[in-house]
Amino acid sequence: MYLLLATRFPNSVVVESVVVSVTACCAKYLDWRVAAKIVTYRGVGWAIDLFVLYKCPSTDGIFPAVFEEGREDLIPYLLKMFRACLVT
């Protein structure tokens, strides 16, 4: 997580460390249902369509065209990842 924050927000600093109990982080069934309504296959596909295909990669090194070329294989994984981010 720190690598992601450091990459996307290079000048940021950790202000406070927060410890959360495991039970507070556990997602409930309803949380996943709400996330599934918000993050949809069609929505992720729409977001991929907004990419400028042959633009230079960002700091993560991934070219936007990779998402377009592999969209059918990537979208199911992206759905799980985005929904998990929303739930937790």
Tokens, residue 56: 């230079």
**C-beta separation of 79 from 87 below 8 A:** no
Measure the CA–CA gap between 23 and 56, rounded to whole angstroms: 42
Percent pLDDT > 90 in the chain is 35
Kindly report the pTM of this predicted structure: 0.65
Q: What confidence tier does 42 reach under pLDDT thresholds 50, 70, 90?
A: very high
Q: What are the residue ranges spanned by the domains of the chain? A: 26-87
**C-beta separation of 45 from 76 below 8 A:** no
Name which residue leads in pLDDT, 85 or 26. Answer: 85
Mean pLDDT (the chain, rounded): 82
Give the per-residue SS3 of 43-87. Answer: HHHHHHHCCCCCCCCCCCCCCHHHHHHCHHHHHHHHHHHHHHHHH
Least confident range of 6-15, 34-43, 56-65? 6-15
Name which residue leads in pLDDT, 24 or 6. Answer: 6
